[in-house]
Amino acid sequence: VIGVVIGKTDVRSFPDRKNIGTERYTFNFTIRDSPTYFINVQSWGREEYIRSLSESFRVGDCVTIENPLIQSKEAEREEKFNPVTPSCYKLLLSENHSVVRTSSCYDTDTRLLSLLHLPVKDPQDYYSLGDIVANGQSLHGRVLNVLAAVMSVSE
């Protein structure tokens, strides 16, 4: 699978239920290869493997993923913590079998670069900041999708 990384989480650790007293490490990222299709990728493993893999690319890089395991996703559980994707599957990376290589999007396919700027939600499923200000009371307690641009960043 070749795609551009459009999102990425930090590395996290969890107690390993099989080996008491040890930890398993994980991080997720999302890749996109067309305007319509993108998929979440999950990786689990030893700390050294996960940290090294996570540090090997960033959002905006093009990656090639070889030998991932394809799994059905548990939509309700997984989409709490990952972007909602149009696929009912996810990719799982294994330290022993999977390989992730980065390459320049220009070397791979310049069309992938334009995918970075496309929203992942239906354009009709957004509220503007003006709508939220005007209708704040009626929207109280609801989960909303907001499409906004950052105007400035400061301390």
Domains held by the chain: number: 1
Position 125 in a domain: no
Secondary structure in 3-state letters for 53-64: HHHCCCCCCEEE
Structure tokens at 15: 């107690």
Q: Which domain holds residue 46?
A: 2-114
Q: pLDDT 10s per residue in the chain (155 long)?
A: 889 999 999 999 988 888 888 889 999 999 998 888 999 999 999 999 999 999 999 998 899 999 999 999 886 666 666 777 888 899 999 888 999 998 766 555 677 777 877 777 777 778 888 888 888 788 888 777 887 778 889 98
Decide: 29 and 39 in contact? Cβ < 8 Å: no
Contacts of 15 (CB under 8 A, 6+ apart): 22, 23, 24
Q: Is residue 143 domain-resident?
A: no
- Residue 154: CB partners within 8 Å, gap ≥ 6? none
The answer to the question of residue 102 being in a domain is yes
CATH number assigned to the domain comprising residue 51: 2.40.50.140
> Which tokens go with 124?
């009709």
Q: Is residue 131 part of a domain?
A: no
Structure confidence by residue, pLDDT tens digits, 50-74:
999 999 999 988 999 999 999 998 8
Q: Please, which residues have CB within 8 angstroms of residue 138's CB and are 6 or more apart in sequence?
A: none
With respect to residue 127, please indicate whether it lies within any of the assigned structural domains. Answer: no
Q: Does 46 fall in a domain?
A: yes
Whether residue 120 lies inside any domain: the answer is no
**pTM, rounded to two decimals:** 0.78
pLDDT of amino acid 81: 67
In a domain, 154, yes or no: no
Q: What per-residue confidence (pLDDT) applies to 109?
A: 63
Distance between CA 137 and CA 129 in Å, rounded? 14
CA dist 153 and 38 (Å) reads: 29
